[in-house]
Chain A
Amino acid sequence: MFRFKAKNYFFLGLVFALLIFFHYLGWLSAVERGAHALIIPISAKITRWRGASQDSYNYFVNQKTMVEEYNKCLNKNQNLEVADAKLKDLEKENTEIRKQLNFFHRQNFISVVANVVGRNSDSMEKMVIIDVGEAAGIKLGQSVVVGDGVLVGTIAKIEKDTSLVRLINDNQSKIAATILNKDGSLGVVEGGYGLSVRMNFIPRNETVLIGDKIITSGLEQAIPRGLLIGEIAVAENEAYQPFQQAVLATAADLSKLIIVSVLIFN
């Protein structure tokens, strides 16, 4: 323990204020780029170890569950192949109808592939750091997807060569979404405690069933319609609530993101 003199407090405050001031002026960008260049590779390495260790852990600890899941997957895969053939046929038909009726202009967008190199330094937020930034044309609010259009988050902060992605299970994430049920129910997908993802503001008179798919509604400027978010795991329609809620099972495992794509509108 030590006694800090008033003079030292003054200098500490002054240096702190100058650091903040110079940061916002961009005068410390060289130092900050250096820090990024030093820390990001370490963070990327740790992220990769995490992915690898999680896989090993799941294999050795839950081997029985894994075998069961694998058998389930095999069965599901057979059904999916049939569904896929039907879907392709429907997609073709749908494209043709859309062309003819000019009902909906399909939005063109290009994507930028990025590696996940770390997580947010503050545990209050569920974010990942990706290795593309302003230089690659990334902008705030753009959607971040994995696989064939599975939404995992949106861009929350941009640096020159890195960006922070706010995952859909973050407390402050809010995504306009629609349920693929007969009513086409609209709502807002929000994160909760970093553990679950909920869909709120679903009208009470609409039918929501477990297993219904949820996609982005396209009501937000930077997020196109049709990105898969997940499916309904639990539906809650309480008499005293003005809206019904649902807990979602996300389509992507948000704790194992390695490579993602950022969608950039043309």
Chain B
Amino acid sequence: MLFLTILAILTVHIFVVNFLPFPFNHINIIVSLLLLLLSVTSNKKVLWLALVISYFSELFSSIPFGIGAAAIILSLVIINWFQLNILTNRSVSMVFFSALFGITLYRTLFVIFLTANNYFFNKGILPYKEIMADAGWEILFSSLALFLFYLVGAKFLKRLNQAYTKSERVYGD
């Protein structure tokens, strides 16, 4: 099951990157789905899943190995902390802000790590202006995609439905 989940997420990501036209090919399915899983599930395996998926996705990237994975895992850990301590309900707006914040955080960490790598290994200066434009598209479309996943999911899945999650919050756990 885990293997199929990993393969499915990677395939969907490759499909989006390869198949969709600009700027929709900037949707980061991996980060979006992981953030969605983090928001709606209580399963601790999400971070381990993130580790495995980011490891495999890095095999198809030219960025120095480990930078993307580190950015994904750190941003998920930070978002999890935020969801536990600040954005503590599971309303639609919380999911949207989590997505927006999570993807922004991921891309920021990614650029910081890449800058540090380029600095320490004497590589050239990154084209920040272009990176900002790419990141802007990615943040906008990935957040919207995640928001849509959640809304569609809430129609069909109990776990994502606010009405059920609210009662769970009052009586559950």
Binding site for B on A (CB under 8 A): 1-4, 8-9, 12, 15-16, 19-20, 23-24, 32, 35-36, 38-39, 42-43, 46-47, 49-50, 53, 118-125, 127, 129, 156-157, 159, 164, 166, 171-172, 191-195
Known: A1-B84, A121-B58. A20 touches B65 (CB 8 A): yes
Any A CB within 8 A of the CB of B135: yes
Q: Is the CB of B38 within 8 A of A1?
A: yes
Report if B96 contacts A (CB, 8 A): no
Q: Shortest beta-carbon distance, A49 to chain B, in Å?
A: 7
What is the CA–CA distance of A125 and B127 in the complex, to the nearest angstrom? 11
Instruction: Compute how far the CA of A121 lies from the CA of B58 in the bound complex, rounded to whole angstroms.
Output: 7
Q: Which single member of B14, B62, B127 contacts A166 (CB below 8 Å)? A: B62
Whether B130 lies near A171 (C-beta < 8 A) is yes
- Contacting pair A39 B14 (CB below 8 A): yes
Interface contact A122-B63, CB-CB below 8 Å: yes
A194 and B22 form a contact (CB under 8 A): yes
Q: Does chain A have a CB within 8 A of B83?
A: yes
B interface list, Cβ under 8 A from A: 7, 10-11, 13-15, 17-19, 22, 25-28, 38-39, 41-44, 46-48, 51, 55-63, 65-66, 68-70, 73, 77, 80, 83-84, 110, 124, 126-127, 130-131, 133-135, 137-138
Min CB distance A69 to B, Å, is 19
In angstroms, Cα B59 to Cα A55, docked, is: 30
A194 B80 Cβ-Cβ under 8 A: no
**Contact status B62-A50, CB under 8 Å:** no
A159 contacts across to B, CB distance below 8 A: 59
Q: Are A121 and B61 in contact (CB under 8 A)?
A: yes
Distance in angstroms between the alpha carbons of A3 and B28 in the assembled complex:
26
Residue pair B47, A39 in contact (C-beta under 8 Å): no
Cα A145 to Cα B22 in complex, Å, equals 23
**When the two chains form the complex, which single residue of A4, A35, A47 contacts B59, counting CB atoms closer than 8 Å?**
A35
- C-alpha spacing A24/B68, complex, angstroms: 15
Which residue of B is nearest A159, CB measured? B59
What are 9 A-B residue pairs whose CB atoms fall within 8 Å in the complex? A12-B48, A12-B73, A32-B59, A120-B60, A121-B58, A121-B60, A123-B27, A172-B124, A172-B127
- Residues in A with CB closer than 8 Å to B66 are 16, 19-20, 23
Closest chain A residue, CB of each to CB of B50: A12
Contact assessment for B80 and A2 in the assembled complex, using a CB-CB cutoff below 8 Å: yes
A24: B residues at CB distance < 8 A: 65
Contact between B80 and A4 (Cβ–Cβ < 8 Å)?
A: yes
Q: Which residues of B contact A124 (CB under 8 A)?
A: 110, 131, 134-135, 138
Q: Are B51 and A19 in contact (CB under 8 A)?
A: yes
Residues of A within 8 A of B14 (CB): 39, 42-43, 46, 118-119, 121
Q: Return A12 CB to nearest CB of chain B, in Å.
A: 6
CB-based nearest A residue for B56: A35
Cβ contacts under 8 Å, B110 to chain A: 124
Alpha-carbon distance A46/B26, docked complex (angstroms): 16
Q: Is A123's CB under 8 angstroms from B134's CB?
A: yes
Given contacts A24-B65, A123-B26, contact A19 B131 (CB under 8 A): no
Residues of B within 8 A of A121 (CB): 13-14, 17, 57-58, 60-61
* Contact indicator B18/A119 (Cβ below 8 Å): yes
Closest to B88 in A: A1
A49 lies within 8 A of B69 (CB): no
Contact of B84 among A3, A122, A157 (CB under 8 A): A3
